[in-house]
A and B are shown apart, each in its own frame.
Chain A
């Protein structure tokens, strides 16, 4: 099986003013295979979110290397990273992070349009249809419920057929009904596209459905 993500000896230290530095990641090694669903769990503050931002190139590790789809993140330029995020990576966050001045449809279509995709809009419409939101396509984020927002965020993460999807507690802000629904959709779409999924969650239900579970504690992977 080919791997889409390799992280080696990743350290991340946050420097703070007037306070001791925080070592959020302390030598993490992780590999994710194509099409694999990896769940990351661990107590609050153990470094899960930090791991995700570093793995996805949103933030640089203090040391160590991260290679995504054959490209070394630490030695890539901003430009290359932007392209990588656009084409190869999708994100879903606990608090949605939709652009408030754009409609649902525009939010979803944006990454595709950025990539120069001609059919961005029709693709976005199809995706929204798939998650049951075709009637809310022209609503703005503040007009949507949490569950709806997260479904829009799912579509946005998937529109460029990313090889790798990072989801940081995507159901954390939702009630169990909506949470389940989002999770079902996420997994279904991930399987359909053959993407890999790295998902942070506290929920044992979620963890149970993963291909693999990574447990963290104090910035280290304690069980894989």
Chain B
């Protein structure tokens, strides 16, 4: 027999149409995940590239929070350049008596080098800035004023000259919550806001005639820049923090996709095996009539390919719809404004990846079909593949998944790391669920229905291990995310006990301290803060090389230090009995995370740079800080004597009833124009929302994994139907009634469901417990009754599902099943 036989194809496909449909649904799920993420990423990449040019604000940009050194300014002088400075401030409207926490940006004529700031009037921004401020619409709305009105910034009153419609280099401070106010660079000084220690981000934007020289110019500037204070970047690439954020965000998504796809792939494999198993007899028969195994495999492969193609196309369509429909929701999560859509590139990429995955997972069942020996099937024996073949296919599968990951992540080291992490998760969950299922299968409880129920797990089609593995892994990851989110929410967001502060005052000058206290008239807690760097550990220079994620605080950046003699409320000592030993001033207490990062302990000698002046101190204690209620936490504590007279800023916090916050902010802004007051309830709400969105994504991907688990369950139940019906007949012959058989089905699925949810929840509790303790450093959340729900819901779901699929089987009449051999 050679060539294609369409009738054979058609008949075989129809004979297993329900299992094939399940297979296609699994491909659909994988394709949906891959295509959605690929489409999203591609849209974001395009937007990033677009924004890079604009957001650059120059070919080379130098940053500093201190005034620029003369050397750097001189070096920049050789090229066309402009200056800009950005800072937080509170704007006050005398007309409406309202205040607004906003981000002030002083710009020189020439800004922006790339892109533009279109104004409502259509004028050039610098024309408008000559008359006063240019603000974003939100400023007008929140202050309830119009163009032409005045606002007070610092100690100076400005007229609002115009409204800006957009901005090329939107602040990247995560999601730009604070509305923008532009001011002419030279007017910045007159606000009286620029004082020593104020947090001001200064930039030199350089534009080159030949942008390809950016690297060289940057290198030249770096030579003269003050190390650890002045940073020089070229802007061939997106802003580093944005790029890293996006990169990390997608790496996280990639992990979820891979997990979902791997689990979905197991679904493909199981459903396909179930279908091919149902075709075994046919295969055996056509083989006895002289068909080669090649004939069989090639025909079945065509069917599998067509089913996979159908699943893929449906998934692609769904991904397109999903992206279009949830664009707003998705773009909130990233600092890049983009309406995600499914591009041709993304469609092709996902086609390739999806095909790769389907092929990898389909290969094994197809190979097994080729092993079928007619005689064995007709005698009802199982064909067993050799151990070597198993390993080969296993290796093939892992490499295919790795390739998928590599393709998505695009970085070998990262892919390797993620693979190892996922393999560990998989292996852990696989071993645990495997052992439990094995144990349960082996157990022979006295209760007859229970024993019979467990007995049916042993049937070859039951796939209990896989079902338990998939469902419990999904639940474990899902629950871990939920538990960690809950921990963060409870400890950081909800944990605002009545005494914890909700209004912060930043940038109080030391000489204002007393007056501020008096004017505020509230029980304000004031903290001095100094931004210092660790320069040397035990006399040796700190190694600052190597890439650093912007959120990672590894002790190599600026640290927050507080001169105090008292242990802060939220802190506890983990090493050392007292904060300092004796009266010596050259001591420092260090927070545990920094101590770990710098690998220092009690007795080590540290050299700090305080405003450029080296200061030495010996570590006297190590503290840990719980982060309850947004109380400030300092990495370093010094005896005040050590840093006497060094510049510092003071910040304060109070707890106010929310209706008084606005009025207090206005009052303080009037009295102390330089003091920035910040209502953190907004920030807290925002963090809460981001968290929910992240968990939402986890839920989506793991949800699709769970669906795969459920599909396998259904597929297994379907393929076991005949055997189950026959066995039910046997049980009936032995005198079992319907009640008994129903009990068996219920029990079987209830144990299955319970095993899954106990394992899933158990693993999640362990992992999230570890994460809370060692990673987040917060107490485990109180879950109360919801833990019970997490346990019960999946169990009940699986039970009902299993019963729904299996119930018909027990009620069928026994006689027909007894006549066949």
Contacts and interface: CB of A to CB of B under 8 A. Distances in A.
Interface of A: 49, 53, 58-59, 78-79, 82-87, 89, 91, 93-95, 97-102, 106, 110-111, 113-115, 142, 156, 160, 173
Interface string B372-390: 0000000011000000000
B735 A87 contact: yes
Contact of B458 (A93, A94, A97, A101): A101
Contacts of A53: 815, 818
B730 A98 contact: yes
19 contacts: A49-B819, A53-B818, A58-B815, A58-B818, A59-B814, A59-B815, A79-B737, A79-B739, A82-B735, A82-B740, A83-B735, A85-B733, A95-B820, A97-B818, A100-B723, A101-B456, A110-B734, A114-B735, A142-B381
A139 to B, nearest CB: 14
B731 interface: yes
Contacts, number: 78
B736 interface: yes
B727 interface: yes
A103 to B, nearest CB: 9
B738 A78 contact: yes
A85 B456 contact: no
Contacts of A58: 732-733, 814-815, 818
Interface in B211-249: none
User: Which of B457, B734, B821 counts the most chain A CB atoms within 10 A?
Assistant: B734
Contacts of A97: 726, 729-730, 733, 818
Contacts of A84: 735
B123 interface: no
Nearest to A109: B448
A59 B739 CA distance: 19
Contacts of B733: 58, 85, 91, 97
A111 B730 CA distance: 11
B276 to A, nearest CB: 20
Contacts of A156: 734
Contacts of B16: none
Nearest to A59: B815
A86 B738 contact: no
Given A58-B814, A94-B821, A101 B459 contact: yes
B821 A83 contact: no
B347 to A, nearest CB: 46
Contacts of B458: 101
Contact of A95 (B451, B723, B821): B821
Contacts of B740: 82, 114
Contacts of A106: 451, 455
Overall SS of chain B's interface: helix
B813 interface: yes
A85 B459 CA distance: 26
A114 B739 CA distance: 12
Contact of B736 (A49, A82, A89, A95): A82
Nearest to B726: A97
Given A86-B735, A113-B448, A114-B448, A99 B814 contact: no
A91 B733 CA distance: 7
Nearest to A159: B734
A168 B737 CA distance: 23
Interface in B697-736: 723, 726-727, 729-736
Given A53-B818, A58-B814, A58-B815, A115 B730 contact: no
B819 to A, nearest CB: 6
B505 to A, nearest CB: 72
Contact of A82 (B456, B737, B815, B819): B737
A189 B574 CA distance: 80
A99 B730 contact: yes
Contact of A86 (B451, B456, B734, B813): B734
A114 B815 contact: no
User: Which of B457, B723, B740, B818 counts the most chain A CB atoms within 10 A?
Assistant: B818
Contacts of A83: 735, 737
A100 B821 contact: no
Contacts of B736: 82, 86, 114
A6 to B, nearest CB: 21
B734 A85 contact: yes
Contacts of B381: 142
A79 B456 CA distance: 23
Nearest to A173: B821
A100 B455 CA distance: 9
A106 B731 CA distance: 12
Contacts of B820: 95
Nearest to A49: B819
Given A53-B818, A94-B821, A97-B818, A114 B734 contact: yes
Contacts of A115: 735
Given A53-B818, A58-B814, A142-B380, A101 B737 contact: no
B459 A59 contact: no
Contacts of B457: 101
Contacts of A142: 380-381
Contacts of B730: 97-99
Interface in B392-436: none
A106 B815 CA distance: 23
Contacts of B732: 58, 82, 85
B41 to A, nearest CB: 47
